[in-house]
Every structure is written in structure tokens, then in C-alpha cells.
Amino acid sequence: KQFTKCELSQNLYDIDGYGRIALPELICTMFHTSGYDTQAIVENNESTEYGLFQISNALWCKSSQSPQSRNICDITCDKFLDDDITDDIMCAKKILDIKGIDYWIAHKALCTEKLEQWLCEKE
């Protein structure tokens, strides 16, 4: 599913303030991480990242390429590619608990200031 900024804002509403992260920071980070696309897959040297939050099979989820993954979120990675982002959000919260928002490289690089543009402007 390809989300819009406003759809994602509504879906991520319960993360607003989680781990002291403001919603616009997260919306910005997701834009630069996956383009709001639940089917985004990025292959790196040692791992693959899945879905909206680009969750890695090195630590967080299990895939056929990573049977040795610690699988901290106790889930198969392909679950992060469907339209239901409930499980993605649960895993993202674990990542925020353990690593913080800077787990997503885009945050520090692109999403620490001028965040007004990431707010959903309701008509």
C-alpha cells in the first residue's frame, strides 16, 4: 500500500510522543526511509530491510535469508510488506525502545528541523 502523509499520520497517531518522538519527525523519517510504501524492500550487503519502517532481518524479523536473526520482534519479515501496519508499528516501538529514532539514518540527516511541512493539514 502506498500511504499519503495524512493517512500515515492517522495510522501513527498512537506513536506521537512515544519515546519523546513527535509525529512530524516520524512522518518525515518514514518518507525518506520507504516513501510511505509498505512494499518497499532494500537489500544491503548483509541484510534486507522491509516495509514502511524498513525493518531489518539482521535483528528484528526472520526471513529465509536470515534464519539466524535474533528476531527481536518475533515475526516473519514478509508481514511488514502487507497493508496492515499494526505489526509494523509494534516492532517500530520495540526499535524505538532499544535503539531510538536514530536507528533510521534519515532521521538525523533530514528530520530534525523544519518539521512543519510534515504535519497533515486538514482541509
* Residue 84 marked as a ligand binder: yes
For the chain, 123 residues long, give each residue's pLDDT as a single digit of tens: 999 999 999 999 888 888 889 999 999 999 999 999 999 999 998 899 999 999 999 999 999 988 889 999 999 999 999 999 999 999 999 999 999 999 999 999 999 999 999 999 875
* Residue 93 marked as a ligand binder: no
Total residues belonging to the chain = 123
d(CA 5, CA 119): 8
* Residue 87 marked as a ligand binder: yes
Q: Which residues have CB under 8 Å from 47's CB, separation 6+? A: 56, 57, 58, 66
d(CA 10, CA 21): 15
pTM higher than 0.85: yes
Here the cell at position 24 is 512530524
* Residue 102 marked as a ligand binder: no
CATH hierarchy code of domain 5-118: 1.10.530.10
